Chain A
């Protein structure tokens, strides 16, 4: 079922490819079965009157989302976005050009909702939503990681992610859901995390981790509290952090930082997941349900701060949407939100990113590092798309670019940035975001990684970069899989807090030595 494909050869310079129509045509990812569809409120299979259902849904979405309405109407087909998508650059399929991807949706919108499209469809490129079109929707809207790079370059700020989310919502409503996202959402909404780790398994994992760290640090007891009522900080992190490398090394880093600060903190077994896949499928309601679990956990555990670990989409949902969806922040009026707001400590931003927290501690001289511990590394930083383009850190302009780099530079001696047009607000996606991190989409994941890999290859050659740091679980998972396909070391991808973890000095005696040394300097 999964297509064989050739691994692309990395170009020396990234060039806009010649169009190869249809190279990425196909079935799309595995479809979601009834058992994953129904709990989310979607039909289990394609409904009989799917065309009508779909058109009605498009009408509803365009009246509920200004983004959808304005973006469908405003595009002038200038072409500014055509060479900006990593999936187009890597695959050459013209339907992966952002405007062409949107046009799959826009042409149907025009046919049914605009004067020109109703009466002069050929003239304005309006089309019916027939079986072929529906297949194209399913296939190509699952070749979009909703990374929003195209919209940075659009003169009207048209955001393909909004259209792609709307399209996926329409598909879900007619009964054609994507298995990977919807299955995961089922787990997150019942068990509390995307991996489906129940409370006992989570507790075991954390205990093992405590032992491991104690051994490694020579007897320093770094704790990983779970469901500890009355802790100051509730940490919400991607469940990948509990599971495998390189993620777990980041979790070790967070624990060490909390330990050094002496703050009380906890994880929640009820809401142990940061990543909110409700965003990927464009469902406000599902996204809200997932966000409400976190509010409930914060209330039940009586914490005064809510913090988010290294996860791109989690941080976007937390930073931009939590206040809207569930009142984590300020200004919501319902009973539970008000209770939470009274409980939260508003001297800190709510929610706060772990990078903001560590950065602040570094600024205040609360952490001591031996930077030479990372001397075997020359590090570059991959700006994860949702952190870079949709959120802020530290409340300063461009803080989301500045803070992670400052943290890395505080713990490493060798840091190099990749080429300017491939980082910060123009960063290239890892290729696995937006609900694409599934093996049935390996071809588009590998091809979509080409622009990022090309920029990485350049700094590897020119500057000897051997470490790629990131603050997103999807980026880390994607890179672990994709790096070896382009002759990189799969272990070169690390969490930023892994670098912190390696350089942080936990031992009081060693801290004193280090402080003496810095006085001499």
Chain B
């Protein structure tokens, strides 16, 4: 294997480990942090099924965002749906053998790159030109979008221009990563930029705002059923406190009668 191939192979595993360990830690942290009070937000579902439907609508349709602002919704939704389709199409590169026929259906997903890049450009322009969005943006907010944009454009260059990378070699390299059968990677510059930034993205995932992905599932305003009167909801720390202070508090309260 070439030095650069060894470097990128090692980088892949390092970023993957950082990603997995970081995400598991963060999800664990979200999971063990108690929600001491019922704080669902209207329009509030009164049943568990309603809550599940609500979160599905949020994830698939970005319902609240749609209600809020049609432009942010349009760009944001197009970016996410484009990214999803593109990601599905990328499974072919990691599949060690010949692709099952079902993947023929994902062939046209490559055009989703245009949708994704369009969405990203919209989001960047909004951040730059809308005064209030500019006010709330940190450098990392721009960088994140620019990074995704470069990933998208470098991928498009390889797919839609004459700058084709050796696709057989790409497949051997990437499927080799998952099956531990390491191979050289093509050293074509657009490809190197493309995968390097994907690795960077994996590394910053658990330490950045990309945490909105697990976050949405743990958001107590979205995932709680509005049944406070019929079912007691109490956090472990609050229950402990209650058991320790119960009689004492009742005595304190009685005093000033």
Using CB atoms and an 8 Å cutoff, list the residues of chain A in contact with chain B.
Answer: 16, 18-19, 62-67, 69-71, 73-84, 94, 97, 99-100, 103, 114-116, 120, 122-125, 148, 151-159, 162, 190, 270, 284-285, 288-289, 292-293, 296, 319-321, 323-324, 327, 329-332, 334-336, 349-351, 388-390, 392, 395-398, 400, 424-425
Contact = CB atoms under 8 A, between A and B. Distances in A.
Nearest to A397: B46
Interface of B: 26, 29-30, 33-46, 50, 58, 62, 64-65, 67-69, 72, 76, 126, 130-133, 135-141, 143, 204, 207-209, 211-212, 215-216, 218-222, 226, 228-235, 237-238, 241-243, 246-247, 249-250, 253-254, 256-257
B250 A336 contact: yes
Contact of A94 (B46, B132, B231): B132
A330 B234 CA distance: 12
Given A82-B133, A156-B215, A390-B40, 9 more contacts: A74-B209, A80-B64, A80-B72, A100-B135, A162-B39, A335-B247, A336-B246, A349-B229, A389-B41
B43 to A, nearest CB: 5
A153 B64 CA distance: 5
Contacts of A270: 257
A323 B229 contact: yes
Contacts of A349: 229-230
A151 B68 CA distance: 10
Contacts of A153: 64-65, 67-69
B242 A67 contact: no
Contacts of A327: 232
A286 to B, nearest CB: 12
A88 to B, nearest CB: 9
A356 to B, nearest CB: 11
Contacts of B136: 77, 79, 82, 94, 97, 99-100, 103
Contact of A155 (B29, B39, B64, B133): B64
Interface of B is mostly: helix
27 contacts: A64-B33, A64-B36, A65-B35, A67-B39, A69-B30, A69-B33, A70-B215, A73-B215, A76-B212, A78-B65, A78-B76, A79-B126, A153-B68, A156-B215, A157-B220, A157-B221, A159-B41, A190-B256, A285-B241, A329-B228, A330-B229, A330-B232, A334-B243, A349-B229, A390-B39, A398-B42, A425-B43
A152 B42 contact: yes
A387 to B, nearest CB: 10
Contacts of B242: 334
Contacts, number: 234
A349 B36 CA distance: 22
Contacts of B132: 16, 19, 79, 82-83, 94, 97
A492 B212 CA distance: 45
Contacts of B35: 65-67
Nearest to A84: B68
Contact of A69 (B29, B232, B257): B29
B208 A116 contact: yes
Given A67-B35, A79-B130, A115 B141 contact: no
Nearest to A383: B42
B68 to A, nearest CB: 4
Contacts of A100: 135-136
Given A77-B138, A156-B215, A63 B33 contact: yes
B248 to A, nearest CB: 11
B219 to A, nearest CB: 4
Contacts of B137: 77
A73 B65 CA distance: 18
Most chain-A CB neighbours within 10 Å: which of B39, B64, B69, B222? Answer: B39
A289 B68 contact: no
Given A64-B34, A157-B222, A389 B234 contact: no
B72 A324 contact: no
B228 A157 contact: no
Contact of B131 (A19, A70, A80): A19
A332 B220 contact: no
A336 B35 CA distance: 24
A59 to B, nearest CB: 12
Most chain-B CB neighbours within 10 Å: which of A114, A323, A425? Answer: A323
A331 B246 CA distance: 16
Contacts of B247: 335
Most chain-B CB neighbours within 10 Å: which of A75, A155, A324, A331? Answer: A155
B4 to A, nearest CB: 27
A324 B41 contact: no
Contact of B238 (A94, A284, A334): A284
Contacts of A388: 42
Most chain-B CB neighbours within 10 Å: which of A18, A77, A124, A156? Answer: A156
A350 to B, nearest CB: 7
Given A65-B36, A79-B130, A335 B246 contact: yes
A348 B250 CA distance: 26
Contacts of A390: 39-42
Contacts of B36: 64-65, 284, 324
Nearest to B43: A425
Nearest to B206: A115
